[in-house]
Every structure is written in structure tokens, then in C-alpha cells.
């Protein structure tokens, strides 16, 4: 511990204050957003917090410490922390230290399906405090200035990332408008066989997942047009045979039609014979249309607007198989599709490099913030 600093447990220097339980049916209103373990949910017509940091209590995620600006209502899924003695511990200094300890706080979560905070352990985390308020204010001022600069740089990088993605959608829209009389327009079910995952009582249970076997793809495995196997689940070959639906083949185009609608990917040879869950549809192209062409077509800005306008469901957004069957697909002769796909692959690669650059900047800014926080509360920030 640096000279001139002391260390105390959180419960010695601060009050832990829970939010209040509310339910939309009984308490719902229109004025103040309700926060808890995550982002805002519904609104109520009364407030119990304003401009402060909150800590997730139930339903925790790695981002379990966050600042909420303005008046809001904190429900019982979250808590706030206030200094017991403002003359000894400045609230803004305490707030920043909670943010610095976010990873440690998340590590105190318990549970599998839903992670909940071990509040007793949370009360025992160590809080490092300079002996003078002047030093606390100096550290906060340095952090405020640095974080403001990082926020500006982050906003610029996010804007550039959004612009890069919008540019690609614009390129897709221009190409798929078509400029010749040899283009056709057919419903999806005329140019593809369409299927999805199993919905029956045979749907794989968590207890039926195995360490290795047949990949069982979920919508979370579809990322940026690719299939990520980082957290893929597996079912046994016997379970795969028992399921009559969702048997995938090389070249199948995947389309997420529940939850986050419109993510796409193509099954490669390494996933031939895999299976998938009920949130994904598969499209098996006829000889008229290339899988790669359909892959790009489904990502166009025009198609994304179509998904938004026609999807159904309130709690879980859906783009049903029937809706998918009726989607109009515009396409030229196959030899032209080959040329268009080559052009689009080149554009995708170039824009992908831009996106990777902006994402790296965003990751660097996050790391910089955490580095500054760690130095601040080790007494190393000058």
C-alpha cells in the first residue's frame, strides 16, 4: 500500500442500498426508465435514483458496474453504493474504484443459468483510499479528463465502424438493383429448399449435450457472416439421427429467423452433417442460384428493412418460415452471379479490414481505460 493511503472493506466505508421491486403490469408508466441487472426495461412514473453508478445484483454480466445519467428507477435486481463519510471518502472517487473493480465484482457472481451477486462477499472487497480529499479529487480530475478524451475517440471509431457497414450495404443495394433484362425475380421457395431446426419434444436438452460429437449450431455461433465454433455445443451421433430436421450440407445458407433476425453464414465442408437449433433456418439453393450470391443478397440494406417491417412477435422477434418462403429474390444468370460474387468478396474483404481496424481501436480504448483505473487505485497515477 502506498504511503498516505489506507485500505478498508467496502462495508466499513460505504452503504450498500438495494433497489425496489416493481413489475410492469402493476407499476408501469411512461416517465422514468427502470434499471436493474442490465439495461433499461420498462418505465414507471416515480424515481428513486439519479445520476449514479449501479451494480448488478441479479442477472449479472461482465459489464456489471455502469453509470446511469438522469433520473431513473432502480429495481431490486441492482444496488447502489454510497459513502458513509463524504469528508473521508469522496463519492466520485468511490464510484471510479467500483468501476476499476468490475471484473473482481463479476467474479463474485454465483449460479449457472443466471448469475447473481454474492452480496456478503461484495461487502468485503477492499477499497484503497488516499488520506486526503485533495488527493482523491486530483485523481478523479485526471480520470475525468482522460475518460472524456477516450469517449470522444471511441465515438469517432464507432461512427466510422457504422459508416463502413453502411457503405457495404450500399454496395449490395446498388448491385442487387440489377441493370439488365436477364434478371429474374422469384419467391425464395422457388429457388431454395427451406428448413429449420427441430421444434418437437425431441429437441436436445442441456443434459444431452456431449463434449464432442455433431456440432449443434445456435444463432450465437453466427458472427459477421462466419460460423464461430468457440462456444459451439455438440450432440451425440445417435441424437443427431433421432432428429429428423436440421441436417446440414455443405453450401447451405444459414439465416437466423428468431431473436436477432437476418444473420447469415454458409456451411463449409468442415460442418457438413452438422445440426442446428430452432432459431436458425437453412436454405439449400437450386442450380439457378449460387449460395454465395444468396449470402450477400440477404445482407443488403433493402432486405434488412424488409425483415424489420415484416417480422412478428413481441417478446421474441420472429421471421417465420412462411415469411422466408415468400421473400422475393432477384438474380441474374449464373455466369453473372459468379462475377458479382467475386466483386462482392473483394469489397467485403476491404471493408472487413476497415472494420477490424476500428474494432481494434475500440478494444485499445477499453484496455486504456482499465489500465488508467488500475494505476489510479494503486496510487500510481500522476
Structural domains of the chain, ranges and CATH numbers in brackets: 5-131 (3.90.220.20), 132-179+333-382 (1.10.287), 184-331 (3.90.220.20)
pLDDT at 235: 95
Residue-wise pLDDT for 15-39, tens only, equals 999 999 999 999 999 999 999 988 8
Q: Give residues with Cβ within 8 angstroms of 55, minimum separation 6.
A: 64, 65, 78, 79, 80, 81, 98, 105, 117, 122
Q: Residue 314 pLDDT more than 80?
A: no
Specify the 3-state DSSP secondary structure of 372: helix
Q: Residue 287 pLDDT more than 60?
A: yes
Q: Give residues with Cβ within 8 angstroms of 41, minimum separation 6.
A: 24, 33, 34, 35
Q: Residue 353 pLDDT more than 90?
A: yes
For residue 10, the surrounding DSSP H or E stretch is helix 10-13
Mean pLDDT over each residue of the chain, to the nearest integer: 93
Q: Residue 178 pLDDT more than 70?
A: no
Residue-wise pLDDT for 39-65, tens only, equals 898 999 999 999 999 999 998 999 999
Beta-bridged to residue 17, according to DSSP, are 80
Going from the C-alpha of 188 to that of each of 60, 77, 202, 329, the distances in angstroms are: 41, 44, 28, 6
pLDDT at 171: 86
Residue-wise pLDDT for 322-344, tens only, equals 999 999 999 999 999 999 999 99
Distance CA 199, CA 278 (A): 6
pLDDT at 315: 53
pLDDT at 302: 87
pLDDT at 316: 60
Q: Residue 217 pLDDT more than 70?
A: yes
pTM: 0.70
Q: Residue 371 pLDDT more than 60?
A: yes
Tell me which residue of 34, 35, 142 sits closest to 96, measured CA to CA.
Answer: 142
Whole-number percent of the chain with pLDDT over 70 = 98
Unique residue bearing C-alpha cell 455445443: 233
pLDDT bucket at 318, cuts 50 / 70 / 90: confident
Going from the C-alpha of 257 to that of each of 181, 262, 294, 324, the distances in angstroms are: 32, 6, 16, 9
Q: Give residues with Cβ within 8 angstroms of 124, minimum separation 6.
A: 9, 10, 11
> Lowest-pLDDT range, 52-61, 76-85, 191-200?
191-200
> Lowest-pLDDT range, 193-202, 206-215, 266-275?
193-202
Q: Which residue has the higher pLDDT, 302 or 159?
A: 159
Residue-wise pLDDT for 111-135, tens only, equals 877 899 999 999 999 999 999 999 9
> Lowest-pLDDT range, 221-235, 274-288, 298-312?
298-312
pLDDT at 326: 94
Amino acid at each position: 500500500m502506498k504511503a498516505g493511503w489506507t485500505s478498508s472493506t467496502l462495508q466499513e466505508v460505504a452503504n450498500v442500498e438495494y433497489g425496489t421491486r416493481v413489475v410492469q403490469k402493476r407499476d408501469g408508466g411512461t416517465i422514468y426508465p427502470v434499471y436493474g441487472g442490465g439495461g433499461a426495461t420498462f418505465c414507471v412514473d416515480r424515481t428513486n435514483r439519479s445520476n449514479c453508478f449501479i451494480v448488478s445484483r441479479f442477472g449479472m454480466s461482465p459489464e456489471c458496474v455502469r453509470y446511469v445519467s438522469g433520473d431513473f428507477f432502480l429495481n431490486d435486481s441492482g444496488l447502489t453504493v454510497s459513502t458513509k463519510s463524504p469528508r473521508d471518502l469522496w463519492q466520485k472517487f468511490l464510484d471510479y474504484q467500483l468501476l476499476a473493480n468490475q471484473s473482481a465484482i463479476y467474479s463474485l457472481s454465483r449460479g449457472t443459468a443466471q448469475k447473481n451477486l454474492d452480496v456478503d462477499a461484495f461487502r468485503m472487497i477492499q477499497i484503497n483510499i488516499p488520506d486526503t480529499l485533495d488527493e482523491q479529487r486530483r485523481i478523479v480530475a485526471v480520470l475525468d479528463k482522460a475518460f472524456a478524451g477516450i469517449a470522444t475517440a471511441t465515438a469517432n471509431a464507432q461512427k466510422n465502424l457504422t459508416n463502413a457497414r453502411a457503405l457495404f450495404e450500399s454496395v449490395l443495394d446498388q448491385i442487387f438493383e440489377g441493370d439488365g433484362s436477364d434478371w429474374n425475380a422469384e419467391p425464395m421457395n422457388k429457388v431454395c429448399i427451406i428448413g429449420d431446426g427441430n421444434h418437437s419434444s425431441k429437441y436436445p436438452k442441456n443434459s444431452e449435450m456431449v463434449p464432442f460429437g455433431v456440432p449443434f449450431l445456435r444463432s450465437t455461433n453466427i458472427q459477421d457472416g462466419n460460423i464461430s465454433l468457440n462456444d459451439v455445443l455438440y450432440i451425440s451421433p445417435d441424437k443427431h439421427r433421432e432428429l429428423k430436421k436440421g441436417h446440414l450440407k455443405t453450401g447451405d445458407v444459414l439465416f437466423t429467423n428468431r431473436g436477432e433476425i437476418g444473420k447469415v453464414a454458409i456451411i463449409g465442408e468442415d460442418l457438413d452433417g452438422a445440426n442446428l437449433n430452432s432459431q436458425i433456418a437453412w436454405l439449400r439453393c437450386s442450380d439457378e442460384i449460387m449460395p454465395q450470391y444468396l449470402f450477400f443478397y440477404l445482407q443488403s440494406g433493402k432486405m434488412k428493412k424488409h425483415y424489420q417491417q415484416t417480422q412478428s412477435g413481441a417478446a421474441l422477434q420472429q421471421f417465420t418460415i412462411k415469411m422466408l418462403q415468400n421473400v422475393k429474390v432477384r438474380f441474374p444468370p449464373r455466369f453473372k452471379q459468379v462475377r458479382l460474387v467475386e466483386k462482392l468478396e473483394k469489397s467485403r474483404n476491404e471493408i472487413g479490414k476497415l472494420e477490424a481496424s476500428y474494432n481494434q481501436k475500440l478494444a485499445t480504448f477499453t484496455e486504456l481505460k482499465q489500465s488508467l483505473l488500475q494505476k489510479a487505485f494503486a496510487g500510481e497515477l500522476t
